[in-house]
Amino acid sequence: MKILFPLVFVLLLMSCIKNEEKTSLVGSWQVEHLTSDNDFKSYQAIITRSAEFDSMYVISNFHDFGIDYENQVYFSINDKGELILANYFVQGGFIVNGKGIVADDFSQIDWNYTIGNVSVEARYN
């Protein structure tokens, strides 16, 4: 009986904790990326809806370049559920090109893109 009460209390407490499952791409993401130069980075990125284009999303702090307007990257989602980066100039005049796949439950995005002459594999969680 002494063990049963704490167990019930813990289960009750766990049921009250809010589950923070993602229901869309919009929000803050933890990013880990590895470049073809073996450079590993971990940072935060923010995805929002584009104010100018209904079908587009915006990533702030893409490639850990910062959150300023000049470094935002736009992407869309095609009919296969693939995320397509728009060709876009970012810090240093680099052109970003690539695509990604979003998990059905919005828990993860896997990107493959090039920036300048460097290939990047990035995972957003």
| Domain boundary assignment for the chain | 22-124
CA distance 58 to 25: 10
What pLDDT digit, counting tens, does each position of 93-105 carry? 788 888 899 998 8
CATH fold of 22-124 reads Lipocalin (2.40.128)
Whether pTM > 0.85 for this model: the answer is no
Res 22: pLDDT: 65
